[in-house]
A = this chain, B = another copy of it.
Amino acid sequence: MRLSTRGHYGLKAMFDLALNYGPEPITLKSVAERQNISEHYLEQLMAMLRKAGLVNSVRGAQGGYILARPPLEIKVGDIVRAMEGPIAPVECVSEVDPSQCDQSDFCITRLVWARVRDCIAGVLDSISLDDMCRESEKIEQTDPANNNYVKDKGGH
C-alpha cells in the first residue's frame, strides 16, 4: 500500500512550484535542491507532469517550470494520478477500465476495495495546492524559524 517515489516527489515538486508561484518560471535545479531530489530524476518526473498538463515549461536560459493553473485549481489527486496512474488498491476497482473477473458482480472483497479507493480519492481530491500553501503559512507564523522551502523573499 505504498506510493512510489514518483508520487511522493511529484507532490513535493508541485508544492514547491506552488509556494514559489508567480510570473517567473522556477528552475528544476532549484526545486531539486530545495526538495532534495536527484536533478536528472526530477527531470523525468517533470516531463510526466508536463504531459499531464499540470505544469508549463519555458526553455532556454532563465527558463524553468510554472504551474499550468493557479494552486487553487490543482488538486493533490490530479498530481497523484499523473504520477501513479488511476487510483486502484486492486486492479478490479481501478478508476479507469477495471479488469473484470468472473465473479465481479457478486464479489464482496471488491466492494471493500472500492470503498478504499473512494476514500483515498476523496481525500486527495479535497486538497488543493493552495490549501497546502495556506497550511504552510500557518506553520510559519507559529514558528518563523522554518522557511518551508520558499524562495528567498527578502529584499536584495
Interface of A, helix, strand, loop or mixed by DSSP:
helix
- Known contacts A120-B116, A124-B116; is-contact A139 B106 (Cβ 8 Å): yes
Bound complex: CA A127 to CA B114 (Å): 13
The reply to whether the CB of A90 lies closer than 8 angstroms to some CB of chain B is yes
- Of the residues B1, B76, B148, contact of A84 by C-beta under 8 Å: B1
Task: Determine which of B12, B90, B111, B123 lies in contact with A119 in the assembled complex, contact meaning CB atoms within 8 Å.
Answer: B123
| B89–A3 CB distance below 8 A | yes
Q: Is the CB of B123 within 8 A of A116?
A: yes
In the A-B complex, list the 6 residue pairs whose CB atoms are closest, starting with the nearest.
A106-B146, A119-B119, A108-B132, A8-B90, A108-B136, A3-B89
